[in-house]
Structure 1
């Protein structure tokens, strides 16, 4: 256990942020999974709308510092490429 006041505060803060970031990552994963399922079903329109819903969620992950911007760019690029290949 930490002895310094600042270290104790940091432990509390890290626990709170970990909970928030975990929830945010779970939300992002859910949106990406919806796109994956739409692609697997073969419905291009559903996949496009799912990607449009997932895009702002992924970008929010970047602004909140949960994901790196290049990671999000790569994920979006690969998903959109798979959707285009369905045509």
Structure 2
């Protein structure tokens, strides 16, 4: 348990930041799910649009420190290859 005033303050800050990070992570997952659903339905145009919307959202998560850079790049790469396979 936090004892000093500074550690109490840090605990409050962490609590607030955790909520923000949860919201960001949830938003990213929603965008990724939309891409997955478009790929599953076989709609190449919708999948491409969904990927174009999801990519900046993932990279924003990287700049905010919610997702690691390599993780985001890997996810984008794998989704892009799956979307490309739909059009071929």
- TM (norm. structure 1) is 0.98
Cα-to-partner distance string for 1:57-83 (whole Å, 9 max, x where unaligned): 001000000000000000000000001
How big is the alpha-carbon RMSD for the aligned residues of Structure 1 and Structure 2?
A: 0.6
Match of 2:36 in 1: 36
Q: Which runs of 4+ in 1 moved over 4 A?
A: none
**1:76, 1:41 → 2: CA distance?**
19
**Alignment coverage as a number of residue pairs:** 87
Cα-to-partner distance string for 1:25-57 (whole Å, 9 max, x where unaligned): 000000000000000000000000000000110
Match of 2:50 in 1: 50
What is the CA distance between 1:85 and its match in structure 2? 1.1
**2:71, 2:15 → 1: CA distance?**
25
What is the CA distance between 1:2 and its match in structure 2? 1.2
Match of 1:74 in 2: 74
Query: Where in structure 1 are there 5+ consecutive unaligned residues?
Result: none
Does residue 8 of structure 1 match 2:13?
Answer: no
**1:15, 1:61 → 2: CA distance?**
19
